[in-house]
Structure 1
Amino acid sequence: MNILTQLAEKLQLQLSVIYDGVEIETSYKELSLDLIDMMGLNTHCVEPVPYANHWSQKDMILITYGDSFLEEGVKPLKTLDSFLEEHIGESVNGVHILPFFPYSSDDGFSVIDYSSVNESLGDWSDISAIAKKRKLMSDLVINHCSSRGIWFENFIKGEGKGSDYFFTASPDDDLSQVVRPRTSSLLRPVETEKGLQHVWCTFSHDQVDLDFRNPEVLLTFVSIIRQYLDAGVRIFRLDAVAFLWKELTSASINLPQTHEVVRLLRTLIEHSEPEAIMITETNIPNTQNLTYFGNANEAHCIYNFSLPPLLVNTLITGDCLYLKRWLMSMPPAQNGTCYFNFIASHDGIGLRPAEGLLSDIEINTLVNTMQSFGGRISWRTSETGEQKPYEMNISLFDALQGTVEGEDKWGLERFICAHAIMFALEGIPGIYIHSMLGTRNDYEKLKNTHHNRSINRHRWDYSQLERQLANTSSSHHTVLARMLELIDIRKKQLAFHPNAIQFVLHLGLQLFGFWRQSSDRKQSIFCVSNISKEDVELRLGELNLISTDTWFDLIAGTPVTNLNEVVTLSPYQTVWLTNIMLES
């Protein structure tokens, strides 16, 4: 049996799971052949290697908008490329350009046209130019699209492509179980040529949800994936994918059909481009998030959404209990899968992934502390109808300017400590552009947009940024230099491979530590951070360092001369103690 026949049979089986109980006009066999044709697999089809890791310790992703840097007379994507070449260089080999398509709201996540680049940013040649130099990650905004796009216009007219792409329901339906990430009403009434209809809007009334019960919607998104692959995209971020499949009288989140769609898309992508990977963006409680690994047959990577709130909570309380408990509970990602670690993003610090890990009292303390540092809070309606904090909107640099006791002098060291922890953890690190630069809360943009998330979506005047980065006394210069220093150390260590062994260390509540070991078992790294604003003693004897090895602190660049020594760690100091100094 040849590879195409095997692929077609696998797709038919996956389609039978997705559309079980749904009346569709074409057979599973015909639909599978359409999918193969749409992806161009008739002319180029590769057999994927199971459980292959398409990443190493050298991989890291910079997260940025296409217009994070503005330069007079220059398209923002070209300015972004210049920034990457001039200030990031080879330190970071991947870039996630947040939605770069024409859009109507939500800073890009309400897509009007999936096939075009927003003219204000540049064009496809600018995207491809960046993709030739770095691993390019693109959003696949798959759950919903803009109400101002041609698809929705055709839905209102009742004819043309898109006229049957949207999920509708009745206000009389039982929708009480539906999980909502927003406080707006779920259904939006729309006058159409067919009369009044109520379209499903998980997020906002400008973001109308697509109906994957219609196979044409699936085929359309497969054609979009093909276009992005041709443009050089190698990492697909499936935005809000947990909400993709809806069923009345259900929670309409994480349904079996959603998981099967993810598996099908992985099947198509890995047969087309073996190095391409998928990351699912599922901002949900931790146990639910983990299910998107499947059996190494769904997402290659999942966002470690619990890390940001737990790490921030650790650093503002000086107590690592909850972070340590969570890390001990996290299963190692099997080969072929990987965690995607981050502590800041274009969105805020999500609180749903902390549910069940932090108590309501601890979450409220965290929320109140972020508000005292200038942050804003976004809310959601819970299953019981009460308002609960959904997300903390604040720049990470401001979030770590103090503790529950208030602001202090340790903000920079606390901020660097957070990244030293994140860079060393099992997984691929993702760094938000404003963390790389130490950008502060943007109150002016918040005032202009009235959207809480705008506080951490600053657009830099590029000439002003250049002056800041050239000034050695500037905090932005200092942050970038120290971040790149840590990154360059990390990239050389085999024990920091995203799938290298990891064990949590028990060193009390003020020292957060874990041990990493390379797959060949030759390199070990003990990663220990003082997460408090007091000097704390680290007894090296408790680490059981092998006495026949020579040990070094990678960050300080100094040898460890006495394995029984008591080392005093300054507030928020991190040590990476290794038995092998790798230089390349």
Structure 2
Amino acid sequence: MKNNVQLITYVDRIAHSDLKGLKQVLNTELHDLFGGVHLLPFYYPIDGSDAGFDPIDHSKVDARLGDWNDVKAIGEQYDIMADLIVNHMSAESTEFKDVLAKGKQSPYWDLFLTKESVFPNGLSAEDQAKIYRPRPGSCFTTYQLADGTEAEFWTTFTSNQIDINVHTEAGKAHLNNVLMRFHESKVNLIRLDAAGYAIKKPGTSCFMIDESFAFVDELAKKANSLGMTTLAEIHSHYMTQIDIAKRVDMVYDFALPPLLLHSLFSHDSSALSHWLSIAPRNCVTVLDTHDGIGIIDAGPVGNKAGLLTPAEIDNLVNSIHRNSNGESLQATGAAASNVDLYQVNCTYYDALGQNDIDYLIARSVQFFAPGIPQVYYTGLLAEPNAMELLNNTKVGRDINRPYLQVSDIQQSMQKPVVKALCELITLRNTIKAFNGEFSMHNQDNQLELTWSLNDSKATLTVDFATKQARINIVEAQQTTDIVIADLLKKHSA
């Protein structure tokens, strides 16, 4: 994985296009900005109940976007990350429809998890209370089979997403088939989507248990043997992320986005600097993704203290709602379908009240923090909340999943804040020091992040009390100072 900034995008939403069109945008409007691209689900179909994360056929590219050769063509030029959806597939899949038609006589019966397969002696109230589910309601959905009998299938996320039994031969064959498709199509980075939910065991939370770690480890080794790197996608307590990082190639730094917001809102960088001192180094950093802004990653879980206190979490969430003029409140929790218990749905730009200086400070810290940065397409373009789309679909996360045209990209690329962000991306991609050693100093809410390699050195200094930030670069005995506020002014002229 190149140590360059990477783009996260839906193929069809960034330029209302297909895979060929996306490659064209990467090579023109976004030329020289990104070393790789995370292609959010491009499988058949891209417009299911969960924006492609409920594939009917995980091994097939949606024909409206192209085919595997088009994926391979992008992979010839860029790193490609793709989602291996390990936990579930669509209830509309051929396999599940066969199960509904033939019941236990179907060759695919063992591909799916039922309540009975995990709890053959019945599910006790005690065991049910232990199960962790990221959304309200039961984790089981009752389906009627063709013979009139009923079966309760495990549905961690929605009733249309039927959980896979990854222990069976059918489950293993399904995942191996997708891995081989990736390998043949030059996908070299695999995001293990919802991997923490894949293993269910009676008497446990059925989330990130010991057996989950073993499963992720086995899957990572299989991908590694094919020359692919794995990235575990898990929203959980920050100590869980530290644990996971020891067992996989890479993890997300999901604690960074809420901690940066907290620091900018409270003018207090202590929680942020503490996290950066202990955070995994083999990570991918994000501020925004196709999901909401994670809260659980910085907060307390059960009796485990968080990086932020409950009061600080409440203030963080309320500040986002206030900065977005209540728009995030309309897209979060019970206000919208497809809800998550641990996220706030809002663009990162609107979470900061569209404050350009705060936004550029947040991006600067992301680029200087340990890890490889990814920038979501709406974050790149400083897009506001997509309220019209949200009002049309009533799906909370659509607030940050707009459909854009090439003309929208061209227009947004002229915004001063976007021009300044692109300059920061170029710095992150070209300064040699980012391949060296990281060090940090924090005093009186002034955070200093430094990278050093031989005669190359880059330092970001942010005073969270005054919102003043500057970058100092020393390379080939040349010194450059960049004041973030002046960078914005330069592009506003």
Checking the alignment, whether the CA contact within 8 Å between 2:135 and 2:341 is kept in structure 1 is: no
Q: Is residue 487 from structure 1 mapped to residue 434 from structure 2 by the alignment? A: no
1:461 and 1:190 map into 2 onto residues whose CA distance is: 40
Q: CA deviation at 1:535?
A: 5.6
Quote the Cα distance in structure 1 between the aligned partners of 2:173 and 2:398: 34
Q: Does 1:359 align with 2:295?
A: no
- Aligned partner letter, 1:347: D
- Counterpart residue number, 2:303: none
Answer yes or no: is 1:176 the counterpart of 2:114.
no
Per the alignment, residue 503 of structure 1 pairs with: 439
Structure 2 counterpart of 1:517, which letter? S
Q: Partner letter of residue 92 of structure 1?
A: F
Q: Pick from 136, 140, 143 the counterpart of residue 190 of structure 1.
A: 143
Partner residue in 1 for 2:460: 527
For residue 467 of structure 1, report the CA deviation from its aligned partner: 4.4
1:212 Cα deviation from its structure 2 partner: 1.7
Pick from 341, 353, 356 the counterpart of residue 285 of structure 2.
Answer: 341
1:428-465 deviation digits (Å, cap 9, x = unpaired) = 00000111111110001100111110100011122343
TM-score after normalising by structure 2: 0.87
Give aligned-pair identity as a percent.
25
Aligned to 1:50: none
User: AA paired with 1:110?
Assistant: D
| Distance in 2, Cα, partners of 1:189 & 1:68 | 34
CA–CA separation in structure 1 for the residues paired with 2:254 and 2:442: 23
Decide which structure has the larger Cα Rg and report it.
Answer: 1
- Secondary structure of residue in 2 paired with 1:139: strand
SS state at 1:423 partner:
helix
* Counterpart in the other structure of 1:408: none
One-letter amino acid of the structure 1 residue matched with residue 152 of structure 2: H
For 1:166, which of 112, 118, 123 is the aligned residue? 112
> What is the CA–CA distance in structure 2 between the aligned matches of 1:141 and 1:322, rounded to whole Å?
33
Q: Kindly indicate whether the alpha-carbon contact (under 8 Å) linking 1:489 and 1:554 is maintained by their aligned counterparts in 2.
A: no
**In 1: Cα distance, 2:382 partner to 2:37 partner:** 18
1:69 Cα deviation from its structure 2 partner: 3.4
Aligned length: 461
Give secondary structure in 2 for the equivalent of 1:236: strand
What displacement does 1:188 show? 0.6
Equivalent positions of 1:144-543 (< 5 A) are 144-157=88-101, 158=103, 159-169=105-115, 172-173=123-124, 174-193=127-146, 195-273=149-227, 276-294=228-246, 298-331=247-280, 333=281, 338-355=282-299, 356-372=306-322, 373=324, 374-376=327-329, 378-379=332-333, 390-401=342-353, 411-469=355-413, 472=414, 475=415, 478-497=416-435, 500-509=436-445, 511-518=446-453, 521-533=454-466
Partner-residue secondary structure (3-state), 2:264: helix
* Unmatched segments (≥5 aa) in structure 1: 1-53, 381-386, 403-410, 557-568, 574-584
SS at the partner of 2:182? helix
- Partners of 2:59 and 2:307 in 1: CA distance: 41
Partner SS, residue 43 of structure 2:
coil
- Taking a change above 3 Å as real, the CA distance of residues 429 and 89 of structure 1, as seen in their structure-2 partners, is same
Cα distance in 1 for partners of 2:468, 2:260 equals 19
Amino acid at match of 2:314: N
Shift of 1:284: 1.0
Amino acid at match of 1:290: I
Q: SS of the residue aligned with 1:526?
A: strand
Instruction: Report if the CA contact (8 A) 2:368-2:450 is conserved.
Output: no
Kindly state the Cα deviation for residue 123 of structure 1 after the two structures are TM-superposed.
Answer: 2.2
- Deviation of residue 514 (structure 1)? 2.0
Deviation at 1:142, TM superposition (A): 0.6
Shift of 1:316: 2.1
Distance (whole Å) between structure 2 residues aligned to residue 186 and residue 283 of structure 1: 18
C-alpha distance in structure 2 between counterparts of 1:484 and 1:570, whole Å = 15
TM-score after normalising by structure 1: 0.74
- The whole-number CA distance in structure 2 between the counterparts of 1:89 and 1:68 is 18
Deviations 1:503-550 (A, max 9, x none): 3212311x22222223xx5433322123345569x9x9xx9x99xx96
Secondary structure in 1 matching 2:373: strand
Rounded Cα–Cα distance in structure 2 between residues aligned with 1:465 and 1:534: 29
1:94 Cα offset (Å): 0.1
Paired residues of 1:505 and 1:512 also in contact (CA < 8 A): yes
For the residue of structure 2 that corresponds to 1:119, the secondary structure is coil
What amino acid is aligned across from residue 495 of structure 1 in structure 2? A
Aligned counterpart, 2:119: none
Supply the RMSD in Å over aligned alpha carbons: 2.7
| Alignment match, 1:61 | 6
CA distance in 2, matches of 1:467, 1:375: 25
Residues 353-376 of structure 1: per-residue CA shift (max 9 Å, x gap): 011111111111111111121213
1:162-205 CA-to-partner distances (Å, cap 9, x unmatched) read 22211111574331111111013111111125722111111111
Amino acid at match of 2:222: L
What amino acid is aligned across from residue 306 of structure 1 in structure 2? A
SS at 1:232's partner residue?
Answer: coil
| Change over 3 Å in CA distance of 1:432–1:96 after alignment to 2 | same
Query: Corresponding residue for 1:97?
Result: 39
Which letter maps to 1:288? T
Change (3 A) 1:152 1:388: closer
Label 1:388 to 1:263 Cα distance change in 2 as closer, same or farther (>3 A). Answer: closer
Map 1:12-161 onto structure 2 (within 5 A).
54-56=1-3, 59-70=4-15, 75-103=17-45, 104-157=48-101, 158=103, 159-161=105-107
**Residues in 2 aligned to 1:467 and 1:350: alpha-carbon distance in whole angstroms:** 29
SS of equivalent to 2:433: helix
- CA change 1:102–1:126 in 2 (3 A) is same
Give me the whole-angstrom Cα distance separating, in 2, the residues matched to 1:114 and 1:535.
Answer: 47
Give the drift of 1:494.
2.7
